[in-house]
Chain A
């Protein structure tokens, strides 16, 4: 099954590392010393501070099995590495309900004969890198930085009031600006290349795709995330997904150098 091969590729987790159990000062704790995940969200300069290591809620085994069949569970794949949105941004929709234009269907047909960019150590990009492993948000005064645990290039989300670039050099992670709507952090991203796949199904994106992410840290340990996609070249209407991000307290993202373990390329190169 195609999906299985994909998950296997993502499974080269680093073995062990430091600062995965460093007790962060400033984390509210219960009497037992554990992080109090339902404490109020921290604030900085009058706005929520989103800084922390986050992991998108994992998909229950039963949901994978229901969609992909019973044999899926017998594969030795760690389903906790990724979520259902890595497999499809349209997870949960019936086949006919996906707002695909014929152009999207045609591109997916081409992709069927290719390996996913991530299997050649290219970026997972958006939204995938938010749903693999964990990622870290670091809120600085003029920008918010996102470091993806899966080794994607860092994202710089400018919060200094600038607007999106008009004719950017297409990039895997795009160009991002963020602003606050009340306590919700709204990130607009454009300037994507059309090389990345939105998910392992190979849903495409064009250079005109825009993505809006809405982050609402509802308490210390939880953030509601909604992602809206708009790409009229490939999709008949905007669409969106929602997920909950769980804080990984006293943890960190690790250096991830995909090429370090790269042994497949000479074989894949012929494709």
Chain B
């Protein structure tokens, strides 16, 4: 089953590390010292502060077995490494309801014999990089930095009022600007490279794709995230999904150097 190889490629978790249980000052706590995840969201300069280590809600095993059969449970794959949206951005959408243009189907056919870019230590991109392991947001005065725990390049989301670049050099993570709509951070991203896949199901993206992410930190421990995609070259309409990000308190993202454990390249290079 193809998607399993994708999870295997993503499951080389670093063994252990420091600052994974450092007690952050400024974290509201209950009497037993545990983080109070339902405390109000922190604010900075009149806006919610999204800083923290976040993990997208994991997919219950039953959802995987329903989609892929009972065999999934027998495989030695840690399904907690990633969420269903790494498998497919159309998870839960019936095939006939997926807005694929013939061009998208053709692109998926072309890439069907190719290993997923991340198995060659290339980035997962947006949104995949957000749904493997955890990621960290660091809110600085003029930009918000996103550090993906899966080793993707860092993202810089500019909040200084600039517009998106007009003719950008295509990039795996794209170019992002963010603005506040009330307490919701709205991130617009363009300038993607066509080399990356949206998911393990090989849904393509073109250089014209625009991704909108809407982040709303509803309390200390939770962000509601909505991701919307617009790519008229490959899709007949806009589409998107919603998920919840859970704060992983007193934690951190670890250095992840994919090439360090890279032993497959000599074998996959022939593809």
In whole Å, how far is A184's beta carbon from the nearest beta carbon of chain B?
21
- Please state if A18 and B260 are interface contacts (CB–CB under 8 Å): no
- Please state if A256 and B153 are interface contacts (CB–CB under 8 Å): yes
In whole Å, how far is A223's beta carbon from the nearest beta carbon of chain B?
18
- Please state if A160 and B25 are interface contacts (CB–CB under 8 Å): yes
Binary per-residue interface labels of chain B (131-162) against chain A in the complex, 1 for a CB within 8 Å, 0 otherwise: 00000001111110101000101101000111
Whether B201 is near chain A, meaning CB under 8 Å from some CB there, is: no
Which of B18, B166, B171 is close to A175, meaning CB atoms less than 8 Å apart? B18
Which of A153, A166, A259 is close to B120, meaning CB atoms less than 8 Å apart? A259
Whether B175 is near chain A, meaning CB under 8 Å from some CB there, is: yes
> Size range of the interface on B?
35 or more
Which residues in B have some Cβ–Cβ distance to A below 8 Å?
Answer: 14-19, 22, 24-26, 44, 51, 120-123, 138-143, 145, 147, 151, 153-154, 156, 160-162, 165-169, 171-173, 175, 191, 195, 252, 254-260, 262, 265-266, 269
A residues in contact with B255, CB < 8 Å: 153, 171-173
In whole Å, how far is B167's beta carbon from the nearest beta carbon of chain A?
7
Binary per-residue interface labels of chain A (138-170) against chain B in the complex, 1 for a CB within 8 Å, 0 otherwise: 111111010100010110100011100111110
Q: Which of B139, B147, B265: most chain A CB closer than 10 A? A: B265
A residues in contact with B19, CB < 8 Å: 162, 165, 168, 175
- Please state if B257 and A140 are interface contacts (CB–CB under 8 Å): no
- Please state if A18 and B18 are interface contacts (CB–CB under 8 Å): no
Chain B: which residue is nearest A255 at the CB level?
Answer: B171
Which of A138, A254, A258 is close to B145, meaning CB atoms less than 8 Å apart? A138
Chain A: which residue is nearest B161 at the CB level?
Answer: A25
CB-based closest 8 A-B pairs: A18-B165, A165-B18, A169-B17, A140-B140, A17-B169, A18-B168, A168-B18, A255-B171
In the complex, number of A-B residue pairs with CB atoms less than 8 Å apart: 124
> Size range of the interface on A?
35 or more
Consensus secondary structure, chain B interface: loop
CA distance A8 to B260 in the complex (A): 22
- Please state if A169 and B14 are interface contacts (CB–CB under 8 Å): yes
Pairs across A and B, CB under 8 Å, 8 listed: A17-B168, A120-B259, A153-B151, A153-B257, A154-B147, A168-B17, A172-B257, A259-B258
Which of chain A's residues 5-31 have a Cβ closer than 8 Å to chain B? 14-19, 22, 24-26
In whole Å, how far is A76's beta carbon from the nearest beta carbon of chain B?
24
Binary per-residue interface labels of chain A (106-149) against chain B in the complex, 1 for a CB within 8 Å, 0 otherwise: 00000000000000111100000000000000111111010100
- Please state if B265 and A265 are interface contacts (CB–CB under 8 Å): yes
Whether A191 is near chain B, meaning CB under 8 Å from some CB there, is: yes
CA distance A181 to B2 in the complex (A): 55
CA distance A172 to B258 in the complex (A): 12
- Please state if B265 and A140 are interface contacts (CB–CB under 8 Å): no
Chain B: which residue is nearest A22 at the CB level?
Answer: B162
CA distance A51 to B265 in the complex (A): 38
Q: Which of A167, A172, A191, A260: most chain B CB closer than 10 A? A: A260
CA distance A256 to B152 in the complex (A): 11
In whole Å, how far is A145's beta carbon from the nearest beta carbon of chain B?
6
- Please state if B256 and A44 are interface contacts (CB–CB under 8 Å): no
